[in-house]
Amino acid sequence: MSESSILGALDAAHLQNVGLLTAPNDRGTRRMHKRRLNRSSDEENQDIPLDVHPQSAAAQDAFATIPDQLISRATLEYVGFSEAKADALWSQWTNWPPHGPSRETDPDTGGLQMSFLKYMTGAFNTGNDTSSDDDRTWARLMDTFGLSIETKQAILDPVFRYIRLSESCVYWAKDTVHMRYYGLMGIQKASRDRENALRRAATRPGSGRPPGQLFPNPLYTPSSSSLAASRSVSGWQQQSSPGISNYSSNSASAIAARNAPGFVNLFKGIDQERISGLLDDNGSINRIQTLLSSAPSDFSGRRRLYYFTPDFEVAQYYAVYAKRRANAESVVIIMMSIPNRKIKSLQKPEILRLFWPNPEWAQLVWSCRNGRKMPKELRKYQDASLVIGTISRKPNRAYEELASPDDVTGDYVLKVQDSEGRSVPATQYVFGEDGEDILATHGRIKIFPFVPAELRAWIEKHRDMVRQFP
């Protein structure tokens, strides 16, 4: 597989042979069956038949449009830029100046190199941003960034207004581009896995194919042999995504898991490719560091910490907004289960609790979100293994505009609905450096896909939520 080609030649030939992929068009894109996009898309889209012809009317819902090359003009449109902005950015990329940092596609001479992802998100580094509650201000700013109508509509969807206003316009623009680009890298990884599986299958005794021939007749017909071949790929994809459940986040299996007694169950909604490497081939924790959140954050001004919530609805809200802004990307809800006895065994100052409206909570969040050095009286929270407390709302710039912690109000608190329909502050479990051992040693992870049907159901249920959540 070439560095920029999203699909390997062998994999692409096989998928075209069984009718799950089209050839590249003059715009540099392909149509690919949604069940072959990434390592968990088969389970996520299992309601879509595999025998949908790519030229049929049903293909509109069964196939996704993806770039042929990762570093391409088509990718600029895929991640969210308008045609005009994609033209301008691609022209600049292909006419790179001879001096200064080189591109990642240039020979590595040991100097600075610009990645394509960093180049794309550089379009938002204009010095302009907004966290205003005026949607028109957001729309005008995104116009200056050159975002497409589709991307603007996804970010500004009124159903997600409450969670959107927890961050700034630049934050969500960058987050959307990152997510979509990582999604393309996930498609690339899945293609590599399928190619390896095809090679192994072709060399297996009894394959019945001449040396060098991996496929039957390359002309597509929806035959039983082609469908059998495509279904065998389903098994390979499932094997290449260990630890990710075959059941969705709202399935009976997932509900039973999060109600299992004896554990504190913590959740996090995130797009799947950002946790690449989290689990090993056996589905056990491999690199817990993939779950670190960047600073500044609620309880840390300069260090990266682990943030989870015991409120499933909060994790679901973040997951559904990610899914709304995604193209073909998979989104998951992570469930981290820690034995009750382990949490109960922690004593002060190893475990601390801090909730709104305690003035110390406002002081801690205000200091951390401003990236300030931790005041002496608050350093106990920095040294704790686990801090349980209220989740804040509003972007960092909103805290920068406050003169002091005394200006922090209830509007700066993330709210959820309790079982009686009351609006209450949401809670988070925040693990520090020492708390990482608790997660890695005592934590059990289950990952549930957040599937398109759940997105549709959630939006239908909350369509009247145009002002706030809950």
- Which domain-ending residue is among 150, 182, 214? 182
405 inside domain: yes
Do 177 and 274 have their domain in common?
no
Quick check: is 127 in a domain?
yes
Same domain, 29 and 148: yes
* Strand 102-103 versus strand 113-114 pairing type: parallel
CA 292/CA 279 separation, integer angstroms: 14
Same domain flag for 173 and 312: no
Residue 355 lies in a domain: yes
pLDDT at 222 over 50: no
The pLDDT score that the predictor gives to residue 2 is 46
Q: Which amino acid is at 270?
A: I
**Structural domain contains residue 269:** yes
Residues 138 and 282 in one domain: no
Q: Which residue in 295, 406, 294 sits closest to 361, CA to CA?
A: 406
368 & 450 share domain? yes
User: What are the backbone angles phi and psi of residue 358, rounded to the nearest 5°?
Assistant: -55, 125
Mean of the pLDDT values across residues 9-23? 97
Residue 208 has what pLDDT?
55
- Res 206: pLDDT: 62
With CA atoms as reference, report the closest residue to 118 among 101, 99, 131, 95: 101
Model confidence pLDDT, tens digit, residues 275-331: 999 999 888 999 999 999 999 999 999 999 999 999 999 999 999 999 999 999 999
Residue at 205 is within a domain: no
- Please report the pLDDT score of residue 354 as a whole number: 98
Residues 289, 381, single domain; the answer is yes
- What per-residue confidence (pLDDT) applies to 467? 44
Same domain, 258 and 155: no
Query: Phi and psi at residue 158, in whole multiples of 5°?
Result: -60, -25
**174 and 261: one domain?**
no
- 403 φ, ψ to 5°? -70, -30
Lowest mean pLDDT among 236-245, 385-394, 420-429, 446-455: 236-245
Indicate whether 405 pLDDT > 80.
yes
In this structure, the answer to whether residues 409 and 291 fall within a common structural domain is yes
Per-residue pLDDT at 218: 38
The domain boundary, picked from 142, 166, 182, lies at: 182
What is d(CA 370, CA 380) in angstroms, rounded to the nearest whole number?
18
pLDDT at site 233: 56
Residues 261 and 368 in one domain: yes
In angstroms and rounded to an integer, the radius of gyration of the C-alpha atoms of the chain is: 24
Average pLDDT over residues 265-271: 98
Domain count for the chain: 2
Residue with tokens 């449109």: 77
Residues 453 and 317 in one domain: yes
Average pLDDT, the chain: 91
Judge whether 244 lies within some domain. Answer: no
Q: 90-103, pLDDT tens digit by residue? A: 999 999 999 989 99
Cα 253 from Cα 263, distance rounded (Å): 16
Supply 8's token pair.
């390997």
Domain boundary among 158, 182, 206: 182
Domain-embedded: residue 458: yes
Give the mean model confidence (pLDDT) for residues 351-362.
Answer: 98
Of 389 and 212, more confident? 389
Residue 172 lies in a domain: yes
C-alpha dist (Å) from residue 72 to 118, 290, 452: 14, 27, 27
Strands 444-450 and 331-339, by their bridges, are antiparallel
43-88 pLDDT, tens digit each: 889 899 999 999 999 999 999 999 999 999 999 999 999 999 999 9
Question: Same structural domain for residues 175 and 320?
Answer: no
pLDDT of 227 > 70? The answer is no
What crossing angle do the helices spanning 9-17 and 224-239 adopt, rounded to 10°? 140
Q: Which domain holds residue 446?
A: 252-462
